[in-house]
Amino acid sequence: MSSNQSMKEYVKDKFHITKPITITMWEFSWIERRWPGAGYEDWDQALSELKERGYDAIRMDAFPHLMAADPHKEWTLYPVWNLQDWGSRSINKIVLYDNLKNFLLACKRHGFLVALSTWFRIDEDRTLMNIKTPEDHGDIWVKTLDYIKEWGLLDLIFYVDLCNEYPLDCWAPFLKQAYGKELTRDSKESMDWMRRACAQLKKSYPEIPICFSFVEPFDNLDEDVSFMDLLELHIWMAQSSNYYDLVGYHYERFDDTGYNNLMLNGERIYREKPEYWNQCLKDNIRRAAEWSRKSGKPIITTECWGVVDYKDWPLLHWDWVKDMCEVGVKEALSTGRWAGVATSNFCGPQFQGMWRDVEWHKRLTDLVHTSSME
């Protein structure tokens, strides 16, 4: 798309999209990773490079719980992990009001739509635990969108994902506080929370498409998503099979045991039978597509398609990861159900091994732009 206005026309009328667009996830890195060499210290440079690679939209953390509490405060954030290259590996400080406004203005200059999400980053006061009801959850998003409306940038917003990978406890610990237990996505309490939070947001912003993003499973075609405008589904080969069990990777966040196993075993195990692992991924994509058809909701995927966690590190090569991602992109496009397609969840300047392969990105984004939807 040549401009944001043409993009909005492309996806107008409550998410009735006729052709898929390309999207990347910049989560909380857009503001946390601003030290020299971290990748986002010059937003215009990063966005120019993203545009060169053929992308149309960005999914990012708007920190709604912190925006609603005090957008001008300097917040001290604790790290989610010290092993991954999303965000900061150690304690960090951010101020949101001017930074969010200026980043959105930069996105507008470069012609990007913006999908807002949140990983509910934990600050020293654990502000996210003030979310005690679904209405509280909806209200923090209303307050955040109120600021964006005040700035005259509401037209930039593609959709709002009320919570990343709901209801995982690592991203939404306030649910356990509210109910005294961890919830499954299809539990009565979990479904009620989503419905009520969405209804609260829709009261003020009925025109903004909304969803909760999900990971596995995608096999219950009767799961109720009537209160959402789209499905944001995160799909990887590694979660579509027993691959990680064989590798010995268990999502360790502050212990490098899993990464050592990934370095020693990950590529080898994949290359021993790539057709099998690729088919596991394809089968899961097809299940997601069937859910989309039955629910009537288009799919957007911003985290995908091979391994879940990766980085530039000794013994970690990018070619096999890019191969799996290409398989996923092509399979998703073949279903005609994807409205927004990411090439991976590593499409950011901090992942140099993938970022520097400009032609790979352009080839896959060209595939997206020349595809169609059902």
In order of start, what are the domains of the chain with their CATH numbers? 4-369 (3.20.20.80)
Q: Tell me what pLDDT residue 295 has.
A: 95
CA distance readout (Å), 12 to 146, 156, 273, 358: 21, 12, 43, 30
Alpha-carbon distance of 348 to 46, in angstroms, equals 8
| 5 pLDDT above the threshold of 80 | no
Chain-centroid distance of CA 157 in Å reads 15
Which band of pLDDT confidence, cut at 50, 70 and 90, is reported for residue 7?
very low
Q: Which residues contact 35 (CB under 8 A, 6 or more apart)?
A: 41
pLDDT tier at 18, thresholds 50, 70, 90:
confident
d(CA 353, CA 360): 11
Instruction: Please give the residue that has the higher pLDDT: either 10 or 217.
Output: 217
* Residue length of the chain: 374
Residues 6+ positions from 221 with CB-CB distance below 8 Å:
290, 291, 294, 295
Confidence of residue 19 (pLDDT cuts 50, 70, 90): confident
pLDDT at 1 over 50: no
Q: For residues 247 and 266, is the Cβ–Cβ distance under 8 A?
A: yes
- In this model, does residue 12 exceed pLDDT 60? no
Q: Note the pTM of the prediction, 2 decimals.
A: 0.95
Q: What is the mean pLDDT of residues 134-152?
A: 98
Q: What would the mean pLDDT of 119-142 be, rounded to a whole number?
A: 98
Peptide bond into 36 cis (omega under 30): no
> Quick one: pLDDT at residue 343?
98
Q: Measuring CA to CA, which residue among 157, 169, 253 is closest to residue 215?
A: 169
CB atoms within 10 A of CB 253: 13
User: Mean of the per-residue pLDDT values for the chain?
Assistant: 95
Cα separation of 339 and 250, whole Å?
A: 31
Cα Rg, the chain, nearest whole Å: 19
Closest CA to 108 of 142, 50, 157, 62: 157
At residue 6, the pLDDT reads: 42
Which amino acid is it at 262? L
pLDDT of residue 17: 66
Q: For every residue of the chain, which 3-state class applies, written as one string? A: CCCHHHHHHHCHHHHCCCCCEEEEEEECHHHHCCCCCCCCCCHHHHHHHHHHCCCCEEEEECCHHHHHHCCCCEEEECCCCCCCCCCCCCCEEEECHHHHHHHHHHHHHHCCEEEEECCCCCECCCHHHHCCCHHHHHHHHHHHHHHHHHCCCHHHEEEEECCCCCCCCCCCCHHHHHHCCCCCCCCHHHHHHHHHHHHHHHHHCCCCCEECEECCCCCCCCCCCCCCCCEEECEEHHHCCCHHHHHCCCCCCCCCHHHHHHHHHHHHHHHHCHHHHHHHHHHHHHHHHHHHHHHCCCEEECCEECCCCCCCECCECCHHHHHHHHHHHHHHHHHCCEEEECCCCCCCCCCHHHHCCHHHHHHHHHHHHCCCCC
pLDDT for the residue numbered 2: 36
Q: Read off the pLDDT of each residue in 92-100 and give the average, rounded to a whole number.
A: 98
User: What is the per-residue pLDDT across 175-213, written as a single tens digit (0 to 9) for each?
Assistant: 999 999 999 999 999 999 999 999 999 999 999 999 999
For range 286-300, the mean pLDDT: 96
